Structure 1
């Protein structure tokens, strides 16, 4: 059953979108107009209005931006950018521009991805400031909303830094500060993300029951901390944070591959709620092919061909559609529901426990604890119906096995493949084979041209653009 937290948003979220959460302009440096303060004072005098303001943020990140399951999200954009998806959309569509690598600093999606995310961050910072300054909210609501906002602030900055490299870490709604803010180094951004997550750990509930993991918890914060440790190659922290979640008995891999993306999956750590109880996820609507040839995206043939024989993920998580000429097209079928029905059985999975087994396996490989690495990899492989890897001290072999498992397990989930290739120094090697027009500077997106013109402190532009 959905909590009153969600139910109460139906009435007031529209008002809050208009009055509070979306007073921001097209650029994140334009936000902070005084009129929003009047509304903030009213909203943060009431627990239910404050919770509804936070629900408006969740609706925003579900609909658009990096962790949206739709066309604007990282899974579509970076899936086409790298070697997972092929675009069949028009030549001027964002997916085709990313697929063909014809993006420029002036491209609409380059700018909108940036501005959308910073607008969301402004709204999140408005929540944090409103909660901190309120004398009327209950302590439980203050802690919960601040913890959730800190978590979201961290994960959105993390996606920004993976896409653009050095970026501003925005943690206030001050117009005077934000209009002249400069970039922070990648390592600095990681440090600020970690600080937000560690603060969130002290405020968030430890766990939530399966089927209701639509809010961040301590386990979600630990999961993102483990991901940052993977990016930083801090293998001690990677083991520590991954193990906290893996060892929690409430978060277990589903043995049935067809249950992994259900809303009550025991392996889900953080999910986003669709529009209502009868709506399917954005992923289902975007990926599932009802007609062929596709009009948007489909899986690349070489991606499908590279699955290991007998891999259950190939049969359970990939669907196919044949056109009138007999040509077969393949699509991601992790989410099985396509359109609104009597009830929604799936939520959009942002974080799940399988990623932590893969992070910890790599950490064990780098720490020369090969038996432990093999044990974690085999948990992923045996669930997929594959034979177990034998114990070995061959680090090159284990690294290769790890990369293959990450690709087969996490495909089309918010850009993992693109980041993994870069993380393992394989991006140029792989992509020059897959796309003849690939260039090394494509490892990052360009900073939006409009933002550089408005705020010179964001210079220099990323190399190659």
Structure 2
């Protein structure tokens, strides 16, 4: 048994405060047991002199990303919420009120799910900044450990801000734990946020090694930073820079497309760049528990008819990545990428955040935008052929880009909100969602800034249009 410190920010943000609690960790259990601090409580700086405690602080952040923050695989995560917000999922439950607001495109600035996305994100950013500040000051850590911890922390800070800017538009980019600064922080333009994302990721990539810490690729390495950097460049329409990053990853021999489509989402898949640790021996993904159902009508959600009709005939992903339930009259489909929705003794699947297929499609899009048609087709066809689809041949630039967007829609469905992010960044949300979503408005491409945050900090004004 060993004693570490767990850093817990307040639930209000960006006005954040630090509570330092002593936490007891038992070697056979991940869970934290919180007790009151002693009178001679150690300072945060001393805590971060020990590599084990910094590792524990990072592990806690990853656990929150998996279990409760915006990238969790449950009903409060972006995959589930944005799948209903767009056209991937149909809601059947009458008990998921907050999901209903997303499904109906009827969000208010008082929506608790929106507040949850905002608060959990800035709480994690605060915890990450605390790691950055104290790791920099630590004198007992080796330089190798410092580089690893700082590289991961800069990546996490960029990763969370990336989602915030794509969900909310102009946002604060918080880089400090100073309470006085954070209570008055103002929103930056999306362009300013993107530059800060790039700065953090370039630094992260320079600090992280190519090797992974531990097993199962659950901690980011250099190539994971490069993957997010490529995505940022792609969204920012810096095609050449996006292509440079994706080319580096595709040239790395550690990652290979899994030719067996049923094995893509297994824990040891060679195309996984980064995934969340399952947390408990034998546990699998929250995603599978959220989506899989065994009788109809669905108790929660199902894949929408609009989405299911988007599959090409013969696409192996229809057969292998969706499951079907019928009552003899109606048939409903659910995401079946993750197939284990209970404990299996030995963990078989972990929730994947970055995988090689996205890198191929980002490279294809960058090449298409740069006029490199043959290279774009080669990369696009690598994904199509894995799905048993015929290779596409020479085509004009516009048609090629549409084929790439279609491939992203099918390949990445219900993964980390890709559908919404793609519709937003390509200005296609109105054209594709208005015909099937009666309440969809152009301003819905941004979520509302939580009203409670505007009250706490007027510098966050003005509210996003439409709210």
Place the TM-score, normalised by the shorter chain, in its bin. over 0.9
Q: After superposition, where does 1:199-348 map in structure 2 within 5 Å?
A: 199-208=203-212, 212-323=216-327, 326-348=329-351
Counterpart of 2:33? none
The count of aligned residue pairs is 449
**How far, CA to CA, are the matches of 1:85 and 1:34 in structure 2?**
41
Contact 2:8–2:19, Cα closer than 8 Å, also in 1: no
Counterpart of 1:363? 366
Contact 1:151–1:221, Cα closer than 8 Å, also in 2: yes
SS of aligned partner of 2:333? strand
Runs of 4+ displaced beyond 3 Å: 32-39, 207-211
SS of aligned partner of 2:72? coil
SS of aligned partner of 1:289? coil
Query: 1:343: how far off?
Result: 1.1
SS of aligned partner of 2:462? coil
Please tell me the root mean square deviation across aligned C-alpha atoms, in Å. 1.8
Q: Say which of 109, 112, 133 aligns to 1:105.
A: 109
Q: After superposition, where does 1:45-444 map in structure 2 within 5 Å?
A: 45-90=49-94, 93-208=97-212, 212-323=216-327, 326-392=329-395, 394-444=396-446
Contact 1:209–1:250, Cα closer than 8 Å, also in 2: no
TM-score between both structures, scaled by the size of structure 2: 0.92
Contact 2:265–2:338, Cα closer than 8 Å, also in 1: yes
Higher helix share: 1
**How far, CA to CA, are the matches of 1:119 and 1:69 in structure 2?**
19
CA separation of 1:209/1:157 partners in 2, compared to 1, >3 Å: closer, same or farther?
A: closer
Once the two structures are overlaid, the 10-residue window that deviates more, 155-164 or 130-139, is 130-139
Counterpart of 1:30? 16
Once the two structures are overlaid, the 10-residue window that deviates more, 394-403 or 450-459, is 394-403
CA separation of 1:38/1:23 partners in 2, compared to 1, >3 Å: closer, same or farther?
A: farther
SS of aligned partner of 1:344? coil
Once the two structures are overlaid, the 10-residue window that deviates more, 190-199 or 85-94, is 85-94
**How far, CA to CA, are the matches of 1:209 and 1:259 in structure 2?**
23
**How far, CA to CA, are the matches of 1:206 and 1:128 in structure 2?**
21
Counterpart of 1:451? 453
TM-score between both structures, scaled by the size of structure 1: 0.93
CA separation of 1:307/1:441 partners in 2, compared to 1, >3 Å: closer, same or farther?
A: same
Segments of 5+ residues of structure 1 without an aligned counterpart are 1-10
Query: 1:395: how far off?
Result: 1.4
SS of aligned partner of 1:28? coil
Query: 1:212: how far off?
Result: 2.0
Q: Is 1:40 the equivalent of 2:30?
A: no
Segments of 5+ residues of structure 2 without an aligned counterpart are 23-40
Query: 1:188: how far off?
Result: 0.9
**How far, CA to CA, are the matches of 1:381 and 1:27 in structure 2?**
43
User: C-alpha offsets along residues 292-319 of structure 1, whole Å, 9 cap, x if unaligned?
Assistant: 2222221102211210001011111000
Contact 1:88–1:96, Cα closer than 8 Å, also in 2: no
